[in-house]
Chains A and B, each alone.
Chain A
């Protein structure tokens, strides 16, 4: 396999998406089972993922996750959400269940094309960070070659 796709050896497979701020990001998307749609509401970006073809779009993130968390609107929203979560947790704890974790803002990537029973739970965190933070993070990620060794 490594000989068949030598160009793929430096790929990085991740569970959350880190993007450097201020750089154009080109997304190339495929799907291996059914239609999905990569929806990033905060970036007003969306594109279907289609089996058998590659779809793409691009954007430049301009606000880092940290900056977004400091915005007065966002602070108010997160405060409101956490108040609701505390209320909900009271009921849960009374039932002997675990309390909900407090919420902090993160950019979202979610599936927006009906794709089966788990459609409502198909998501990934997006972190927009400074180029330095991004370089540090990507250096720590194992490449595909390292993973399959």
Chain B
């Protein structure tokens, strides 16, 4: 950009545009508003996803019993208040889809990448405000279609969130493979388009729009995480799109990509030469990187919050960046560990075991660095910090079982049991959710100019933390006892009768956890309107977003964008008066930049 153009650009932001309600709140191209739109849509989808899990937890605790709530919410799908098995499968399918994609991908990445990338790198906005707006509205459209699929006559998709064909490909296989499945596929195709537009925008913005002095080695770890997450998304989401398109072809246009030799309901179908295993490869080529698309932003948020609230530099900045890059690379070559018993060549199993166990190394580096950052820190235990520490806890306890599942020989025994359910809920579900909560508590003042209530935050954290373990810890044991997941009821197996009580305990913890989220929702909505006004830098943090005015404005900084002189983690630096130094403060005479 030439100097003249740059000046013209400055002036452009200098005076206020006349904004209508539509351009400010609905079709906004301002990254801060888009972040809020993502957050609120994500939270709304989260409410639906969590409510669904509570419904099927009722069924699992008290199988095949009649409940008024089923009659009210499920109508004809719960004759006399007893949940239909098809509905159970639909609920687990849509719960998984919504939580993984709509809440923890779009809701987490969409919110914080949009909010923080321009603010923390010192940019006026995203590289393309228009693409950013389109990205959000495609996400909104795909959410709407996914919700609409709940209301079609035969019910929503019900083949599990992985929608393996032939079950998902054949409308005659089950009611949930009819129109509901078509809508699921259309919704996901649009979702992927949204995700790709968003990711490209994040990548371009981080590469091109950093302010003067913001070298890559001075980037806050949040930005590193969002940047690498976007790259993983661009590499892997198109593969899921191809799988979805091929499945649509198989379903609607008579092709046989994933189907072969099928006899169903006494009828011989014409499909020949395809393989469901091909679908599994395509799905998991996204499916596994998706775990890191969900998790890395949460880890980035945690790095930032733990360093700020320990009042210490993050331990091993370079190791943190290197481990993010290593995880990103490895995430694309481990997908086969979801397929050890799929009929894939067993030799491939040993290859994927090797690559999978390698991921333990960068993951352990991150966990180690969090703990060493906390070590002897001046800990500020606000709700954001507690959720970040909670993330470290669930990341470790969920990660340890990953070592078991990543080993092809050990996996055979517990594949598709509740052991797996416990593992992935702790290591990516709960961890990423904690990251989302931590981010909301920490950046709420930046987003809404208000503070959230601390005490309600403590209640939210402690009830959630106890209940999350209460729900998922016992699942390890019932999984090792051989209990398969996605079973409507276990009463047809007397062998499992002695673990029925555990299911009741798990459900009670789940309901309590659900109630704790209501506390969060109340706190969130109440604080937007009646929260205490925020000061400019409430957590005394070094990163650049806290140098912008509390009141949002187009272009983020009045006047010129400040120059960056140091890394983001100069906390408790010897020789400084305060225990923090903003990135935009020049080095004092004789002060050396920390060699991190």
Contact = CB atoms under 8 A, between A and B. Distances in A.
Given A46-B413, A120-B85, A32 B262 contact: yes
Contacts, number: 130
Contacts of A118: 85
B240 interface: no
A interface, by DSSP: helix, strand, loop or mixed?
mixed
Given A34-B170, A51-B262, A51-B276, A103 B494 contact: yes
Contacts of B498: 77, 80-81, 84
A117 B497 contact: no
B482 A35 contact: no
A50 B497 contact: no
Interface string B264-294: 1000000001111100000000000000000
Interface stretch (A6-14, A108-116, A128-136): A108-116
Nearest to B412: A46
Interface centre among A51, A53, A121 (most CB of B within 10 A): A51
Interface in B210-269: 259-264
Nearest to A117: B85
Nearest to A53: B343
Contacts of A117: 84-86, 89, 174-175, 488
A20 to B, nearest CB: 23
A57 B67 CA distance: 43
A110 B89 CA distance: 17
B417 A112 contact: yes
B484 A116 contact: no
Nearest to B162: A114
Interface in A102-149: 103, 105, 108, 110-121, 123
B274 A52 contact: yes
B412 A52 contact: no
B interface, by DSSP: helix, strand, loop or mixed?
loop
A86 to B, nearest CB: 11
A48 interface: yes
B166 A33 contact: yes
A37 interface: yes
A112 B492 contact: no
B487 interface: yes
Interface in A28-48: 32-35, 37, 39, 41-42, 44-48
A115 B274 CA distance: 19
A108 to B, nearest CB: 6
A24 to B, nearest CB: 16
Contacts of A34: 165-167, 170, 173, 264
B380 interface: no
Nearest to A45: B412
A55 interface: yes
A69 interface: no
B464 to A, nearest CB: 29
A85 interface: yes
Contact of B495 (A46, A51, A81): A81
B484 A110 contact: yes
A33 B160 contact: no
Nearest to B167: A34
Nearest to B346: A57
A32 B245 CA distance: 24
Contact of A50 (B84, B275, B482, B490): B275
Interface centre among B86, B167, B413, B494 (most CB of A within 10 A): B494
A85 B491 CA distance: 11
A142 to B, nearest CB: 23
B13 interface: no
A33 B262 contact: yes
B160 A114 contact: yes
B554 interface: no
A32 B263 contact: yes
Contacts of A80: 498
Given A42-B482, A108-B495, A120 B275 contact: no
B482 A108 contact: yes
A35 B275 contact: no
B161 to A, nearest CB: 10
B167 A120 contact: no
Contacts of B573: none
B262 A112 contact: no
Contacts of B164: 35, 113-114
A33 B85 contact: no
B434 to A, nearest CB: 28
A134 to B, nearest CB: 23
Nearest to B63: A120
Contact of A37 (B86, B170, B277, B416): B416
B76 to A, nearest CB: 15
A33 B259 CA distance: 10
A19 to B, nearest CB: 18
Nearest to B483: A41
B341 interface: yes
B7 interface: no
A117 B175 CA distance: 9
Contact of A51 (B166, B413, B486): B166
A139 B205 CA distance: 75
Contacts of A44: 412-413
Contact of B342 (A32, A50, A105, A112): A50
A17 to B, nearest CB: 16
Contacts of B259: 51-52
A35 B415 contact: no
Nearest to B265: A33
B489 interface: yes
A122 to B, nearest CB: 9
Contacts of A77: 498
Nearest to B260: A52
Interface in B21-76: none
Interface centre among A45, A52, A80, A108 (most CB of B within 10 A): A52
B159 interface: yes
16 contacts: A33-B173, A34-B165, A34-B173, A35-B166, A37-B341, A41-B413, A44-B412, A47-B343, A48-B341, A50-B343, A80-B498, A81-B497, A114-B160, A117-B84, A117-B89, A121-B492
Interface of A: 32-35, 37, 39, 41-42, 44-48, 50-53, 55, 77, 80-81, 84-85, 100, 103, 105, 108, 110-121, 123
Instruction: Return the 4 tightest CB-CB contacts between A and B, nearest first.
Output: A52-B260, A41-B482, A55-B343, A44-B413
Given A53-B275, A84-B498, A113-B416, 18 more contacts: A37-B416, A39-B482, A41-B417, A44-B412, A44-B413, A46-B412, A46-B413, A51-B260, A51-B261, A52-B275, A84-B497, A103-B494, A114-B160, A116-B89, A116-B167, A117-B84, A117-B89, A120-B487
